[in-house]
Each structure stands twice: as C-alpha cells, then as structure tokens.
Amino acid sequence: MKKILSLPFLVFGLFSPFITKAVCPFCTIAVAAGIGLSRWLGVDDSITGIWIGGLTASMIMWTLNWFNKKNFYFKGVGIVTTLTYYAVVVIPLYFMGFLANSANAVYGAWVDKLTIGIVVGSLGFWAGTEWYELLKKRNGGHAHFPFEKIVVPVVSLLLLSLIFYIIIR
C-alpha cells in the first residue's frame, strides 16, 4: 500500500531535475539531437534507429539509477523499466507505420531497418557506458578528460552509424 501511495511522487520525481551517475542529461540531449538531425537530413532508418535505441537505453539507465538513489526497489524493477520504455518507444512507431513496414525491410527480410537500428543502438550505447566505466576504473576512478562520460557512449553511436552507412551504401 505504501508503494501505491508513493506512485504520484515517483511520477512527479521522474519529471523533476536530479543528478545521476549512470548517464548524464547532456548525453541524453546529445542522443536526442542525433535523432532529430538524422530524420531532418533524411538519413536511412537503420541509422535513425541506432540513435532511437541509444536514447532509449540512456533513459532506462537514467531511470534505474534514479530508482537506486531513491531506494525504490521491487522485484523485476529492471525488466519492468526496460519493457516500459521500449513499449513507449516501439508502440507509437508501430502505429504510425514506421515499424513492420515491408517497404523498409532489410533485404526482403521480415525485420525492418528501424527495428534493427533500435536494437543495435541500444546495445551500442550500453556497451559505450560500460566501456567508459572500465576506462574510469583503470584510471583510478577518474575520467581521462572532461566530459569523457558523454563522449564515449556518443562516439559508440557515431561509430555504429558510420558502419551502418558504409553497409547500406
């Protein structure tokens, strides 16, 4: 009952400013800007999906870190948070006709480019944040340069975008 009564405060807290350690707001903004820019430039959907997946992974990490900071735990918090964020992203894209579109399929397969991009981008962003944590740990718990926490995950998305651009050309 206590958790149910705290739900409005939890929802309010998600929309209030806070400091986090997982993925900083600047990184999230950089990923969001990448999505907007790629759409505006008419970039292939697989590359746009990379940035959508990166933004989604960023928001999941951000939320889970916030839950930990607030000592808000329940069984399956990671799974529920992850499924919720992907549902919030994927369901609207599906109903707008961006997903499961046979005209946007990869080599005639049943999986479309946007879906592949979202999966690869999510995994790439997660790997970038893990790589940053490893680099920081090997450097005595300190970043090698200012904003490394932002640069490493975003560079991982940029590299994946370049690889996909070369493949689809």
In the numeric block, which tokens belong to residue 81?
């948070």
Q: Does the pLDDT value for residue 145 go beyond 80?
A: yes
> What count of Cα atoms within 13 Å lies in the side-chain half-sphere of residue 11?
4
* 66-77 tens-digit pLDDT: 999 999 888 999
pLDDT per position as a tens digit, 77-122? 999 999 999 998 888 888 877 777 766 777 666 778 888 899 999 9
* Amino acid 32: pLDDT: 60
* Predicted local confidence at residue 10, as pLDDT: 44
> pLDDT > 90: what percent of the chain?
38
pTM for this prediction = 0.74
Residue 17 has pLDDT above 70, yes or no: no
pLDDT higher at 76 or 6: 76
Higher pLDDT, 140 or 8: 140
Could you identify the residue written with the tokens 């070369």?
A: 166
Residue 65 confidence (pLDDT) above 70: yes
Distance, CA of 149 to chain centre: 15
Q: In this predicted structure, what is the pLDDT of residue 152?
A: 92
* 6: three-class secondary structure by DSSP: coil
Q: How is residue 42 written in tokens?
A: 């008419």
What pLDDT is stored for residue 41 in this prediction? 83
Phi, psi (5° rounding) for residue 6? -85, -5
- Region 38-51: mean pLDDT is 83
Neighbours of 73 (CB within 10 A): 9
Residue 16 has pLDDT above 90, yes or no: no
Is the pLDDT reported for residue 13 higher than 60? no
